[in-house]
């Protein structure tokens, strides 16, 4: 116990020295040994993540961006819809395999009269909005997301996700096998992926595209499936969606789902600038408890001249 007390005091002393303005140059510590890290910003209350080695995979509907997995309504003119309609009825005609060219022509002529109804149906904005939002709700039933960042120095993220710099950041080794599957870099765009009501499948870009307003987060996202995949033949599988969706306000969409993560995936731990000595002691104790002596312990402090956070090894 005496040894632990000495280490805690040493960390506290070092942190206090940093607080009083003795800063070194801004170091790029995102890489350790040439390996990229992924970072998770956490509030002081989330010390249980390190304690229990469990972390939340959050449903898109419960995230802080209202546009998560929420496609825009397609914005196309009548000519575009007519071309799509013609392609559809031409495909139908091919399936019927008319022996007579005259009968095929008659079939197409009759079907073309249905275009006004087709156009009215697929441009009904309330219906399209309902279809678009149902994707958000369906997705919430089958998978969740772990939002990580490629930086541990962002001022806004320390403020928003680490409770005004009072929390901490866990760094993960991106080369660990834990990140071999389900990981996507978020793309930032001014244009939203749109819902094409004429297609039965949604483009995968919907699940990895966010507004450029979020670009500062440099997000990397890992997904986790809540349900077992089902086989559909030829070695392929699919995620079974529920046949009936509960109301969008149902608690099922915000249920907290925790999953184990391997402790040896942790590569660093950063104390927030305003984190308490008590929190630091507890975090270091948990590292020792889990046998994570190789994890680098660091402190985030304000740069002496720039609007930047500096992360230094303690």
Q: Is the pLDDT of residue 284 over 50?
A: yes
Q: Do residues 133 and 16 both lie within one domain?
A: yes
Q: Do residues 274 and 234 both lie within one domain?
A: yes
pLDDT at 276: 98
Q: Do residues 120 and 134 both lie within one domain?
A: no
Q: Among residues of the chain, what percentage have pLDDT more than 70?
A: 88
User: What domain range includes position 103?
Assistant: 78-125
Q: What is the pLDDT of residues 53-73, one digit of tens each?
A: 999 999 999 999 999 999 999
Total-model pTM: 0.82
Q: What is the pLDDT of residues 90-104, one digit of tens each?
A: 999 888 888 888 888
Q: Is the pLDDT of residue 8 over 50?
A: no
Q: What is the pLDDT of residues 115-149, one digit of tens each?
A: 999 999 999 999 999 999 999 999 999 999 999 99
Q: What is the pLDDT of residues 207-239, one digit of tens each?
A: 999 999 999 999 999 999 999 988 887 888 888
Q: Do residues 209 and 263 both lie within one domain?
A: yes
Of 97, 125, 153, the last residue of a domain is: 125
> Looking at the 3D structure of the chain, how many domains does it have?
2
Q: Is the pLDDT of residue 11 over 80?
A: no
Q: Do residues 94 and 132 both lie within one domain?
A: no
Q: What Å distances lie between residue 37 and 142, 153, 183, CA to CA?
A: 27, 13, 13
Q: Do residues 145 and 159 both lie within one domain?
A: yes
Q: Do residues 138 and 61 both lie within one domain?
A: yes
Strands (E) across the chain are located at 31-32, 35-42, 54-56, 72-73, 143-149, 168-173, 183-185, 187-189, 194-195, 209-211, 219-225, 230-233, 236-238, 258-260, 266-271, 296-302, 309-313
Q: Do residues 117 and 257 both lie within one domain?
A: no
The predicted model gives 8-28 an average pLDDT of 33
Q: Do residues 227 and 84 both lie within one domain?
A: no
Q: Do residues 192 and 60 both lie within one domain?
A: yes
Q: Do residues 36 and 172 both lie within one domain?
A: yes
Q: Do residues 54 and 87 both lie within one domain?
A: no
């Amino acid at each position: 116990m005496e040894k632990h007390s000495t280490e805690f005091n040493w960390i506290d002393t070092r942190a206090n020295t940093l607080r009083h303005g003795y800063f070194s140059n801004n170091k790029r510590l995102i890489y350790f040994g040439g390996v990229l890290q992924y970072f998770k910003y956490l509030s002081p209350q989330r010390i249980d993540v390190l304690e229990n080695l469990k972390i939340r995979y959050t449903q898109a509907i419960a995230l802080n961006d209202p546009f998560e997995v929420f496609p825009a309504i397609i914005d196309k003119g009548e000519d575009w819809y007519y071309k799509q309609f013609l392609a559809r009825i031409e495909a139908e005609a091919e399936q019927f395999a008319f022996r007579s060219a005259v009968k095929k022509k008659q079939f197409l002529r009759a079907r073309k009269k249905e275009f006004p109804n087709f156009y009215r149906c697929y441009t009904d904005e309330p219906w399209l909005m309902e279809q678009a939002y149902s994707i958000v709700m369906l997705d919430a039933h089958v998978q969740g997301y772990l939002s990580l960042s490629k930086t541990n120095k962002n001022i806004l993220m320390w403020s928003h996700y680490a409770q005004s710099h009072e929390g901490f950041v866990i760094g993960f080794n991106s080369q660990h096998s834990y990140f071999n599957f389900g990981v996507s870099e978020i793309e930032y765009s001014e244009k939203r992926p749109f819902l094409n009501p004429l297609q039965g499948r949604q483009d995968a870009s919907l699940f990895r595209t966010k507004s450029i307003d979020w670009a500062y987060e440099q997000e990397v996202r890992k997904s986790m499936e809540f349900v077992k995949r089902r086989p559909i033949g030829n070695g392929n599988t699919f995620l079974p969606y529920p046949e009936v969706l509960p109301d969008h306000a149902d608690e099922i969409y915000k249920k907290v789902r925790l999953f184990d993560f391997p402790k040896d995936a942790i590569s660093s731990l950063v104390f927030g600038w305003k984190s308490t000595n008590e929190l630091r002691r507890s975090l270091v104790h948990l590292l020792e408890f889990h046998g994570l002596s190789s994890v680098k312990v660091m402190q985030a402090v304000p740069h002496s001249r720039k609007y930047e956070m500096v992360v230094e090894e303690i």
